[in-house]
Chain A
């Protein structure tokens, strides 16, 4: 007799024994186990005094309080951004100075070796310069943001965020744990997509996956931070300036959360219809994070991982852009020609062709969007070295006619466009479905195009610029 038939008989027999009382058997079994656990625990555990003051509850009284719950969440978010923003400026400038000093020495070296100009251009001005940009723009904010975020993660704060926000997710037909996967998305959207596995219901997991990109990941923060600093903070004195920039970034994040909820709501009523599944969330006790270890690990593991990935992508992309920028077709660079094609669409969205092209070429990694844009702008002309945000401001505003509207649209499109290549690949690996992977790229892009067009045309119609 085959295994299958024996097993089938056994299962049949089990069914006959149990009869219609399936639930009762399960209840009885689980109850017996819990009772045994209760008895054993009663014998071996003793609590000599009521214990120390219950700190967890006291902390929760603030963090999840009806009055302070939401302000404290927003406040904490703002503090994290402010520390990242204001802390990153100085090391960023120092790094840039150091790395561009090396670039000069490299140029000297190439000159001494009588290397052809195209080789110098490709390797130094293309590959090396974009690498230097990625490192100096990304490393400091990451080295600050990741440890801060890891501290929050290790302390047990994130489940409280899910607890506070669950009702909104429920209204949107999504799962409360989506707040957790979104939080992971701040670090890296690919990590956020993987974290979606904690959502058991396939429908809600898919919603969380498709909308994870609406939280800006670490690759996009530098873009947001740089533009916010130049266009929001730059016009005011130093301290309130950085505070204003912080508020702008925090505001964008809140906008991203709102879009997440809205898109989740639409998805759960159209493509992914269904009842919200049951939601149980454990709120673990707070634990004092091991600060030293967190800093070391998050800098070494997360920061270096993301940076290495960015560098691997940025180096060849830098070379490629240099080629595009320097390949002349009828006196114009190929980059400028392509940007020209994109201009009409980009113009409607409040951008220009170079900005849109930078986003397109930045598909492998969002980190390189800003460096590509800069390369696009400076190509052909005299190579400007950009050692500070002031130089960047000059480049954007004085030479390429950016207004605050351009910056706003660029930030909005950075928040709402296709996920980076790694994230898309991760989505495919998790879902094993091309259609959903394409949807994950199309949905945020469509949202971004519409939002930018609406904002651009509204502001222009109202004559605010």
Chain B
């Protein structure tokens, strides 16, 4: 397993486990409500053609987050074998 990084640094098609949400206040609440609690598996689905935001598969829904927001979610990347 690779070291910790943030959600916005992952390439499209990769998977990761949420380890911590760094955001505070309302953004934090929103992210939690979307299901980004520690232990959640997230798939990076695609990036907007303009480069930002990025769409993630979070608990079965495709949610787009801007990089400033995704950058406040700590994750540990999963290898491909864990993806299936």
Interface residues of A (CB under 8 A from B): 23, 26-27, 30-31, 34, 56-57, 60-61, 64-67, 69-70, 163-168, 170, 176, 276, 278-284
- Once A278-B27, A282-B63 are accepted as A-B contacts, the answer to whether A163 and B48 lie under 8 Å apart by CB is yes
Q: B6-43 vs A: 1/0 string, CB under 8 Å?
A: 00000000000000010110111111111101111000
Q: How many A-B residue pairs have CB under 8 A?
A: 92
Which B residues from 40 to 70 make CB contacts under 8 A with A?
40, 45-53, 55, 59, 61-66, 68-69
User: Are A27 and B64 in contact, CB atoms less than 8 angstroms apart?
Assistant: no
Which residue numbers of B lie inside 8 Å of A, CB to CB?
A: 21, 23-24, 26-35, 37-40, 45-53, 55, 59, 61-66, 68-69
Determine whether the beta carbon of A278 is less than 8 Å from that of B66. yes
Point out the residues of chain A lying under 8 angstroms from B26, CB to CB.
278
Is the beta-carbon distance between B53 and A23 smaller than 8 angstroms?
Answer: no
B62 touches A166 (CB 8 A): no
Asked if B66 and A65 make an inter-chain contact with CB atoms under 8 angstroms apart, the answer reads no
Query: Which of A23, A57, A67, A282 has a CB less than 8 Å from the CB of B28?
Result: A23
Contacts of A170 in B (CB 8 A): 52, 66
Interchain residue pairs with CB less than 8 A apart (23) = A34-B35, A34-B40, A34-B59, A57-B45, A64-B48, A66-B47, A66-B49, A67-B49, A70-B49, A163-B55, A166-B48, A166-B50, A166-B66, A167-B51, A278-B69, A279-B66, A280-B65, A280-B69, A281-B53, A281-B63, A281-B64, A283-B63, A283-B64
Flag if B63 contacts A164 (CB, 8 Å): no
How distant is the Cα of A281 from the Cα of B63 in the complex, in angstroms? 6
A167 touches B69 (CB 8 A): no
B29 CB to closest chain A CB, in angstroms? 7
Q: Enumerate chain B residues within 8 angstroms of A64, measured Cβ to Cβ.
A: 46, 48-49, 55
A residues less than 8 Å from B53 (CB atoms): 163, 166-167, 176, 279, 281
B66: A residues at CB distance < 8 A:
166, 170, 176, 276, 278-279
Query: Is B64 in contact with A31, judged by CB distance below 8 angstroms?
Result: no
Residues on the B chain within 8 Å of A66, using CB:
47, 49
The 5 lowest CB-CB distance pairs between A and B, nearest first, are A69-B49, A167-B50, A281-B64, A283-B62, A278-B27
Q: Which residues of A contact B30 (CB under 8 A)?
A: 278, 280
Residues of chain A with a CB closer than 8 A to B68's CB: 278
A279 contacts B65, C-beta separation under 8 Å: yes
The closest CB in chain A to the CB of B38 belongs to A31
* Whole-angstrom distance between the Cβ of B54 and the nearest chain A Cβ: 9
Residues of B within 8 A of A284 (CB): 62
CA distance A280 to B73 in the complex (A): 14
Set A34, A70, A280: member contacting B37, Cβ < 8 A: A34
Of the candidates A26, A65, A279, A282, which one forms a contact with B29 in the assembled complex, judged by CB atoms under 8 Å apart?
Answer: A26
Distance A60 CA – B45 CA, assembled complex (angstroms): 10
A167-B51, A176-B53, A283-B55 provided; 12 other pairs, C-beta below 8 A? A23-B28, A26-B32, A27-B21, A30-B37, A166-B48, A168-B50, A176-B66, A278-B69, A279-B64, A280-B34, A280-B65, A282-B63
Most buried by B among A31, A61, A65, A168: A31
The answer on a CB contact under 8 Å between A282 and B49 is no
Given contacts A163-B53, A166-B53, A279-B53, contact A30 B69 (CB under 8 A): no
- Residue on B nearest A33 in the bound complex, by CB: B37
CA distance A439 to B33 in the complex (A): 36
Taking CB as reference atom, which chain A residue is nearest B49?
A69
A61 to B55, CA, bound (A): 12
CB–CB B48/A164 < 8 A = yes
On whether the beta carbons of B64 and A166 are closer than 8 Å, the reply is yes
Which residues of chain A come closer than 8 Å to B24, judged between CB atoms?
Answer: 23
Q: Are the CB atoms of A280 and B64 closer together than 8 Å?
A: yes
Residues on B with C-beta less than 8 A from A165 are 50
Query: Which B residues touch A67, using CB under 8 A?
Result: 49
**A167/B64 contact (C-beta < 8 A), A27-B32, A30-B37, A64-B46 known:** no
* A30/B64 in contact, CB under 8 A: no
A278 to B69, CA, bound (A): 7
A163 to B51, CA, bound (A): 10
A60 contacts B61, CB within 8 Å? no
Shortest distance between the CB of B53 and any CB in chain A (Å): 5
Q: Taking the nearest CB of chain A, how far is it from the CB of B59, in angstroms?
A: 8
How far is A167 from B51 in the complex, measured between Cα atoms in Å?
8
Q: Nearest-CB distance from A71 to chain B (Å)?
A: 10
Nearest chain A residue, comparing its CB with the CB of B50: A167
CA–CA, A26 to B63, complex, Å?
22
- Minimum CB–CB distance from A77 to chain B (whole Å) comes to 15
Q: How far is the CA of A94 from the CA of B30 in the complex (A)?
A: 54
Instruction: For B62, give the chain A residue with the smallest CB separation.
Output: A283
Q: What distance in Å separates the Cβ of A21 from its nearest Cβ neighbour in chain B?
A: 14
Provide the bound-state CA to CA distance between A192 and B52, in Å.
Answer: 25
Task: Determine the chain B residues whose CB is within 8 A of the CB of A164 once the complex forms.
Answer: 48-50
Min CB distance A461 to B, Å, is 36
In the complex, A96 Cα to B79 Cα: how many Å? 67
B28 to chain A, nearest CB (A): 7
